[in-house]
Structures are given as C-alpha cells and as structure tokens.
Amino acid sequence: MNHQVSLEGPQTKNRILNTELAENIRHLMPMRLQVSSKWEQAYSLEGNGASLRTLYDQVRPKTKYQHGYVLLLRDSLGGVFGAYSNTPFKAETGGHFYGNADSFLFKATGDRFEAFPYTGENDFVIFSTPKFLSFGGGDGHYSLWMDDNLDKGVSYRTPTFGNEVLSAEGSKFHIVAVEVWRV
C-alpha cells in the first residue's frame, strides 16, 4: 500500500469519509482491495436523496470485478459508524442473510477508530429488503439497521460482530448522512 487513498466523487460540505478514516478502514479489508487506492463514491444521501432503493441501484455492480463496499452513517450527535462488505447490498435477498467473513463494522469517535470483525458465531452478516438494510443479528436484534427512508436506525450488540452499540445516540438513532463507497 504505497499510495494514499484517493476519494473520487463530489466534494460536499457534509461528506462523512475523509482520507484518515479511509486508511483505517482499508487496513481491515481483504489484501486484494488494500492495494487499491481509488475509492469511488457510489451513493450519498446529500447527492442522491433519501431512498434505500436508490442506494441499492447505485451500488449495483457495473463490472465483473468484485468490489468492496463501505457504508458510512452519521447520526444527529455527529457519531460516525458503518460497515464493510465485499458483497453489494441488494433489495431482494429471498429472506436469507448473505455476506461473508470479510465483513466488519466500525465506528469513529474523534481520533479513535474501533472495528468489530466477523466473529463466526453465526452467519447473520447482511439482511436486506426494499424496506430496510441490516448487518449482524442474533438475540432478537441487529448490529446495524436502517429504514428505507434513511432517517432512522438501530444498533445493538449481536453475536455476529460482537460489537458495542455503534451510534453516539444509543440503540435508536436518527440518520443525518449516509454514504457508500466502492473500492
């Protein structure tokens, strides 16, 4: 990894991802993606509007190359957190979880970056429908869940990632910004 991450996409005043956070995330991604310095913004709430359907459409693969996808959220207290997956998010999953052990959750508080890798406790990595997108599961909760209007979310500790609550607001939070980056 000789090259610093290059963030390609509209430079908006409310952009969540910066180079420092991208580098922290990059070090946890599979080696084949760590060498990639180009990160392309596939979706932003600010630029594309508040629609989970649009988010799904924007992250649909454009080539046969297997990309990585970084989802970032900002809550109303300024908390930043999200998820990494090398599987694109999709509206229909046939009622099944998908994703794999390369997935992880993270949160960034000030200068502190904390990651929660897949534990292997269960296979509840990603579950999505036209009405919501979620990561992790077990004990009747999701590690990270957001609604189709991209304005409400929840976060609980689950066995899938062994994570703590991700939002600065607590288990229930209000979303003020969302981004997805394709690596």
List the domain boundaries for the chain. 6-182
- The pLDDT of residue 2 is 58
DSSP string for the chain: --S--EEES---TT----HHHHHHHHTTS-HHHHT--EEEEEEEHHHH-S-HHHHHHHHS-SSSS---EEEEEEETT--EEEEEESS---S--TT--B--TT-EEEEEETTEEEEEE--SS-S--EEE-SSEEEE--BTTB-SEEEETTSSEEE----TTT-PPP--TT-SEEEEEEEEEEE-
* Assessment of whether the complete model's pTM goes beyond 0.75: yes
Average pLDDT for runs of 10 along the chain of length 183: 83 90 96 91 96 96 86 98 96 88 96 97 97 96 98 98 98 98 96
